[in-house]
A and B are shown apart, each in its own frame.
Chain A
Amino acid sequence: MTLTARLGRNLVRAVVVLFGISVITFVLSHVIGDPVSVLLPLDAPASTRASYRHEMGLDRPIAAQYLAFAEDTVQGRFGDSFLVKKPAIALIAERIPRTLLLTAAGMVIAVTIAFPLGILSAYRRRSLVDSTSIAVAVAGAAIPIYWLGLMLQIALGVHLHWLPPSGYGSWRHLVLPAFTLGVFLAPVTMRLVRSGMIEVLNQEYVRTARAKGLPEGRVLLRHAFRNMLIPVLTVLGLQFGQLMGGAVITETVFAWPGVASLVVQAIQSSDFPVTQAAVMILAVIILVVNLSVDTVAGTLDPRLRA
C-alpha cells in the first residue's frame, strides 16, 4: 500500500475513533452528575434551579443535546465552563503546556533510567544485573505515585529543604514531580527496551557482524541499538495515552496546575464543557501521536505495517 493510501486509511480510522470517544464522553459526563447542584447553593429554591437548567440547555432531550454538542465540537466550540464562565478551550489551552512539560520531563527521566538498565540486562541475560533490574522495574511499578511522591516531599522537601514539596513556577518545582512520573514510566520502558534488545541481539545480522569480527561496542551501537529503537519507540508513542493516569495523580499530589488535574476537578464538579473539551482535545493529541508514530515506523520498517 502506498504511503498516501495508508495515511488515508489511518485517518478515516482516527475519525471513527474520535466519534466513538465523543459519544462515550458525552454520555458519561452527563451521567456523572448535575452541574446545577454544584453551582447553586444548597437551599436554592426549585424555581431558580429550573431556570438555571433551562439557561444551560440541560432540559432538552438528550439526543438533541448530543447533536448540538457534536456540531459544536466539530467546529471547535466547546462552550464556556459552567464553573468559570470562560471558554473551556482557553482554560485547557492554558494548562496543556504545563502537563506536556511535566510528561516530557518524566519521559526523559524514564528513558535515562530505563535505557541503560534495559540494554545492560538484555546483554547480560540471566545475570544478577538482569534480576536486579527486573526487581527494580517491578518496584517502580508497584510503588504508587501518591506514596512515592509523599516520601520524596517529606524527605527532600520537609527534612532536607532541598526542593519545594509542591507548586509550580521554577525548575526546582519540576524536579520532584518529573522524577516521580519518570519512576512510574520507567518499568514498562525498561522491559520494552530489554526485550527489544534481546530480540535484536539474536538476529542474524548481529551474529553476522560478530562473525565478521567487529568489536562488541560497534555491534551493540550501530546495529543492535538502532534496530531496536523503532519498535520500542512505536510502543512508547502508544504509551502516551497511558500517561494521563500517571499525570493525574502526580499533578494532584504535587499541586501541579496542569490539564490532568483540571479534568478531575471538572468531572467532580460536573463541568461538562471542560470535561468534554479536555477529553476530545487529549484524544486528538493522542491520535495524532499514534498516527505519526505508526506512519513513520511503517515507512522505516516495512515489517511493522499493519
Chain B
Amino acid sequence: MPLRPRAPVGWRRLRRLRGGLAGGAVLTLIVAAAALAPWVAPHNPYVGRVIDRLLPPVWMDGGDPRYPLGTDQIGRDVLSRLLYGGRVSLSIAVLAVFVAGTVGLSLGLLAGFYRGRLDWTISAAVDVMLTFPFVLLALATIAVLGPSVRNVVIVLGITGWPIYTRVVRAEVIRLRALEFTVAARAIGLTNARLLLRHIVPNLLNTVIVIASLDIARFIIVEAFLSYLGLGVQPPTPSWGGMLGDFRPFMFDRWWLPTFPGTAIFVTALAVNLVGDGLRDYLDPQSRTSP
C-alpha cells in the first residue's frame, strides 16, 4: 500500500467542497450535452439554409422556433453548432492536457529522480520552451502541419508540458529526500518499483489539479488560435471559432457571440471550481501554486 501523508476524509471536509461539487454538477451537464450532441441537437451543424441566415433567437422579434438560438451567417442552427462545438473544444482541451500532462510528468520524473546531466538538459529545455513566445510556436507549427483539430492538440501539447515538468520535478526532488524513500531503499526496492508504486501516486494529485485548470486554459487558448485563423477549420464548429466568426456581429447582433462566449465562460468556471475542489480535497495544505 502506498504511503501517503494525508488527513482522513471527513464529512466536514466534504461540506466545504460545495463549490467543487456545484462545479462538478455543471460540468457533468455540459459534458453530457456535448457527448450526446448527435441525439440532442435539433439540426445538422454542418448544413444550413442560406435563406434562413442570421435569424435571431426564438424569444426575439423575427425568431423561429425551429432555431431556438437563431442561425449563423449561412443559416446553420446556432444551438446545434454550440453542442457539436462543445465536443470539439472539450475533446481538444482534454486530449491536449493528456498529451502535455503525460509528457510533462514523464520528463519531470526523469529529471527529478535521476538528476545529473539528464536533469540539466531537461531543465534547459523547459526554460527554452517557457521563454519562447507561444504565438510564434503556434503559427510555425500550424504553418508546417496545416490547421486541423489534430494539429491544434499537438500545438497545445507542445506548449503545455513545461509547467508539468517543472512542478513534478520539484515534487520528486522533495519526495526523494523524504524518509520513506530512504526506508524503501533500505528494504531493497528497485528504482522502478520505488518510482511507480510510491512516488507517482503522490504526484498524481498535483498533476490532476494542474490538469484540471489547464483544461479551462486550453479551451481559451483554442479560441485564441481560432481568432488568428490557426484553429479548427470551417465548417467544423468550435466554441473559439464561433466566437471569432461572430465578433463583427457585436455591433448589432450581440446575441451571436454571447452564446459561445457564455459556453466558454461557464465551462471554464466549472472546471476551475472542480479543480479547486480537487485540490482542497486531496491536498489541503497545498504547496503547489494554483
Are A and B in contact, CB atoms below 8 Å, in the complex?
Answer: yes
**B290 to A192, Cβ gap below 8 A?**
yes
**A21 to B132, Cβ gap below 8 A?**
yes
B residues near A14, Cβ cutoff 8 Å: 127
Asked if A146 meets B216 with Cβ closer than 8 Å, knowing A134-B273, A244-B133, the reply is: no
**A141 to B286, Cβ gap below 8 A?**
no
Q: Assess whether A162 is interfacial by the CB under 8 Å rule.
A: no
**A235 touches which of B223, B286, B289 (Cβ 8 Å):** B289
Q: A61-69, A164-172, A207-215, A279-287: which one contacts chain B?
A: A279-287
A residues near B128, Cβ cutoff 8 Å: 17, 20-21, 24
- Return the chain B residue nearest A267 by Cβ: B139
B residues near A264, Cβ cutoff 8 Å: 135, 139
Q: Cα distance A21–B124 when bound, in Å? A: 11
A residues near B261, Cβ cutoff 8 Å: 142-144, 147
**A279 touches which of B136, B216, B217, B268 (Cβ 8 Å):** B136
Q: How far is the CB of B98 from chain A (nearest CB, A)?
A: 21
Asked if A33 meets B132 with Cβ closer than 8 Å, knowing A138-B268, A154-B250, the reply is: no
A residues near B224, Cβ cutoff 8 Å: 144, 245, 249
How does the 8 Å CB contact mask read for A29-71 relative to B, with 1 for contact and 0 for none?
Answer: 1011100000000000000000000000000000000000000
**A275 to B136, Cβ gap below 8 A?**
yes
B residues near A142, Cβ cutoff 8 Å: 216, 220, 261, 264-265, 268-269
Q: Assess whether B45 is interfacial by the CB under 8 Å rule.
A: no
Interface residues of A in 195-252 (CB under 8 A from B): 195, 202, 235, 238, 241-242, 244-245, 248-249
How does the 8 Å CB contact mask read for A124-144 relative to B, with 1 for contact and 0 for none?
Answer: 001000010011001101111
**A138 to B216, Cβ gap below 8 A?**
yes
Q: How far is the CB of B265 from chain A (nearest CB, A)?
A: 4
How does the 8 Å CB contact mask read for B272-290 relative to A, with 1 for contact and 0 for none?
Answer: 1100100000000110011
Q: Assess whether B85 is interfacial by the CB under 8 Å rule.
A: no
Q: Assess whether A25 is interfacial by the CB under 8 Å rule.
A: yes
| Chain B interface SS verdict (over half) | helix
Interface size class of A (residues with CB under 8 A): 35 or more
Asked if A138 meets B272 with Cβ closer than 8 Å, knowing A17-B128, A32-B139, A146-B247, the reply is: yes
**A283 to B136, Cβ gap below 8 A?**
no
Q: Cα distance A263–B285 when bound, in Å? A: 42
Q: How far is the CB of A235 from chain B (nearest CB, A)?
A: 6
Q: Assess whether B46 is interfacial by the CB under 8 Å rule.
A: no
**B131 to A283, Cβ gap below 8 A?**
yes
A residues near B273, Cβ cutoff 8 Å: 134
- Return the chain A residue nearest B220 by Cβ: A142
Q: Assess whether A161 is interfacial by the CB under 8 Å rule.
A: no
Asked if A16 meets B124 with Cβ closer than 8 Å, knowing A28-B136, A31-B143, the reply is: yes
**B220 to A141, Cβ gap below 8 A?**
yes
**B289 to A195, Cβ gap below 8 A?**
yes
How does the 8 Å CB contact mask read for B111-148 relative to A, with 1 for contact and 0 for none?
Answer: 00000000000011101101111111101100110000
**A283 to B132, Cβ gap below 8 A?**
yes
Q: How far is the CB of A208 from chain B (nearest CB, A)?
A: 19
Q: Cα distance A181–B127 when bound, in Å? A: 24
Q: Assess whether B16 is interfacial by the CB under 8 Å rule.
A: yes
**B131 to A13, Cβ gap below 8 A?**
no
Q: How far is the CB of B256 from chain A (nearest CB, A)?
A: 12
**B220 to A191, Cβ gap below 8 A?**
no
Q: Cα distance A241–B159 when bound, in Å? A: 13
Q: How far is the CB of A256 from chain B (nearest CB, A)?
A: 15
**B124 to A17, Cβ gap below 8 A?**
yes
**B140 to A29, Cβ gap below 8 A?**
yes
Q: Cα distance A286–B136 when bound, in Å? A: 15
Q: How far is the CB of A202 from chain B (nearest CB, A)?
A: 8
Q: Cα distance A151–B251 when bound, in Å? A: 9
Q: Assess whether A150 is interfacial by the CB under 8 Å rule.
A: yes
**A144 to B139, Cβ gap below 8 A?**
no
Q: Assess whether B19 is interfacial by the CB under 8 Å rule.
A: yes
Q: Cα distance A294–B251 when bound, in Å? A: 46
B residues near A267, Cβ cutoff 8 Å: 136, 139-140
A138, A238, A242 interface centre (most CB from chain B within 10 Å)? A138
Q: How far is the CB of A11 from chain B (nearest CB, A)?
A: 13
B residues near A260, Cβ cutoff 8 Å: 135
**B133 to A20, Cβ gap below 8 A?**
no
A residues near B247, Cβ cutoff 8 Å: 146-147, 150
Q: Cα distance A238–B128 when bound, in Å? A: 13
Q: How far is the CB of B180 from chain A (nearest CB, A)?
A: 22
**B289 to A144, Cβ gap below 8 A?**
no
Q: How far is the CB of B177 from chain A (nearest CB, A)?
A: 14
A residues near B227, Cβ cutoff 8 Å: 144, 146, 249
Besides A134-B19, A192-B290, 18 other A-B contacts (C-beta < 8 A): A17-B131, A20-B125, A28-B140, A31-B144, A32-B140, A134-B276, A142-B220, A142-B264, A146-B247, A147-B261, A192-B289, A195-B286, A241-B131, A244-B134, A248-B135, A275-B136, A283-B132, A290-B131
Query: Could you jot down 11 A-B contacts, CB within 8 Å?
Result: A17-B128, A134-B276, A138-B272, A139-B269, A141-B220, A142-B265, A146-B227, A245-B224, A260-B135, A264-B139, A279-B132
The 9 closest A-B pairs by CB, nearest first: A28-B140, A20-B128, A142-B265, A142-B268, A138-B269, A17-B127, A32-B143, A244-B133, A191-B290
List residues of chain B with CB under 8 Å of any chain A CB.
16, 19, 123-125, 127-128, 130-137, 139-140, 143-144, 216-217, 220, 223-224, 227, 240, 243-244, 247, 250-251, 257, 261, 264-265, 268-269, 272-273, 276, 285-286, 289-290
